[in-house]
Chains A and B, each alone.
Chain A
Amino acid sequence: DIQMTQSPSTLSASVGDRVTITCRASQSISSWLAWYQQKPGKAPKLLIYKASSLESGVPSRFSGSGSGTEFTLTISSLQPDDFATYYCQQYNDYPWTFGQGTKVEIK
């Protein structure tokens, strides 16, 4: 299985901060990576697919980059609605696997 490792596990930030989350794959996954946002008690929501393509309806403050084994999710100016847990997911090789999550907390 391809292992996905996110860092940091927890991130404390303030409204207006620029936030970056990193996701590393145990082998190259080209650009076959998605990012999701999950709030407590809710299902994950797709933000980014194919590493850098913004899902329809997702605010432009979210962006993704990277290829191969290293990827980043950036929130350009953190908003109150963005405090949540973020997951990356690879779909280069079966089984599809997720990172362990990064919780973005209020500082």
Chain B
Amino acid sequence: QVQLQESGPGLVKPSETLSLTCSVSGGSISSYYWSWIRQPPGKGLEWIGYMYYSGSTKFNPSLKSRVTISVDTSKKEFSLKLSSVTAADTAVYYCARHDAGPHYFGYWGQGILVTVSS
């Protein structure tokens, strides 16, 4: 059974860079698309972007200028960096695996709350 686990700091200061890692176990990281999705407290879901295991990426235009997603296939990890954060970036961040192409999300991590505050 595929399992995803997010890790990283739970508190980031305004204007700094948020950095999270998603570790994949129970399955291959190859041949799949991997996404980051976030959910502000009490609000809905926002897709941030995805990376294919080979390195190709696609981002939400609303965040594109601040987002980097990378993959380390040897470690079975993929990462998110979001620069110049503000309080509006406070959210639960989920990593997820797409099924059948870069479409819907079949597997999700448990999520990690990241708060942006000084």
Give the interface of A toward B (CB within 8 A): 32, 34, 36, 42-46, 49, 55, 87, 89, 91, 94-101
Contacts and interface: CB of A to CB of B under 8 A. Distances in A.
Q: Which of A49, A55, A96, A100 has the most CB of B within 10 A?
A: A96
17 contacts: A32-B103, A34-B104, A43-B109, A43-B110, A44-B108, A46-B106, A49-B104, A55-B106, A89-B45, A89-B104, A89-B105, A94-B60, A95-B62, A97-B47, A98-B45, A98-B46, A98-B47
Interface of B: 44-47, 58-62, 94, 96, 99-100, 102-106, 108-111
A87 B45 contact: yes
Nearest to A41: B111
B44 A95 contact: no
Contacts of B102: 91
If over half of A's interface residues share one DSSP class (helix, strand or loop), that class is named, otherwise mixed; here it is: loop
Q: Which of B45, B46, B47, B100 has the most CB of A within 10 A?
A: B45
A32 B98 CA distance: 14
A46 B104 contact: yes
Nearest to B61: A95
B108 A43 contact: yes
Nearest to B100: A49
Q: Which of B103, B104, B111 has the most CB of A within 10 A?
A: B104
A42 B110 contact: yes
B111 A43 contact: yes
Contacts of A55: 106
A45 B113 CA distance: 18
A52 B47 CA distance: 22
Nearest to A99: B44
Given A49-B103, A91-B103, A94-B60, 11 more contacts: A32-B103, A34-B103, A34-B105, A43-B108, A44-B45, A49-B104, A87-B44, A95-B47, A95-B59, A99-B44, A100-B44
